[in-house]
Chain A
Amino acid sequence: MSVHVAADRDLCVGAGNCVLTAPDVFDQDEEGLVAVLDTDPAAAADRVAQAVDLCPAGAITATGGKTP
Chain B
Amino acid sequence: MLTEDLPLFPFRSPGDNPFTPVTGTDLRHLDGPVTRVRLPTGGWTWLVTRHADVKQLLRSDAFSADMSSPNFPLLRPAPNGPRNRSGGFIRMDGDEHLRLRRMLTAEFMIKNIRRIEPLITDAVGSSLDALAAAGPPADLVEHFALPVPSLVICHLLGVPYADHAFFQQRSAILLDQSADPLKLRDAIGELRGYLADLIEARRQQPAEDLIGRLVTERVATGELDAEELIGMSLLLLIAGHETTANMIGLSTLLLLQHPEHLAALRDDEDLADGMVEELLRYLTIVRTGLPRLARRDVDVGGHTVRAGEPVTALLSLANRDDDVFAGGDDFDPYRQAQQHLAFGFGVHQCIGQPLARAELRIALVRLVRRFPGLALAADPAKLPQRDTSIVFGLAELPVTW
Contact = CB atoms under 8 A, between A and B. Distances in A.
A54 to B, nearest CB: 7
Interface in A18-43: 19-21, 28, 30-33
Contacts of B112: 32
Nearest to A14: B105
Most buried by B among A16, A17, A57: A16
Most buried by B among A17, A32, A50: A32
B116 interface: no
Nearest to A12: B105
A53 interface: yes
B353 A16 contact: yes
Contacts of B343: 15
Contact of B107 (A21, A32, A33, A50): A32
B135 to A, nearest CB: 36
B347 A28 contact: no
Interface in B323-364: 338-339, 343-351, 353-354
B317 to A, nearest CB: 19
Interface in A38-61: 50, 53-54, 56-58
A58 B60 CA distance: 10
Interface in B15-72: 58-59
B61 to A, nearest CB: 10
A9 B343 CA distance: 21
A30 B339 CA distance: 27
Contacts of B220: none
A14 B107 CA distance: 10
A33 B108 CA distance: 11
Contacts of A28: 105-106, 109-111
A13 B347 contact: yes
Interface string B205-231: 000000000000000000000000000
A16 B344 contact: no
Contact of B109 (A21, A32, A57, A58): A32
B98 interface: yes
B366 interface: no
A2 to B, nearest CB: 23
B338 A15 contact: no
B295 interface: no
22 contacts: A13-B105, A14-B101, A14-B106, A14-B108, A14-B109, A15-B343, A15-B350, A16-B109, A16-B354, A17-B349, A28-B106, A28-B111, A31-B105, A32-B102, A32-B112, A50-B338, A54-B338, A56-B58, A56-B59, A56-B345, A56-B346, A56-B349
Given A15-B349, A28-B106, A32-B105, 8 more contacts: A15-B351, A30-B106, A31-B105, A33-B102, A54-B339, A56-B58, A56-B59, A57-B346
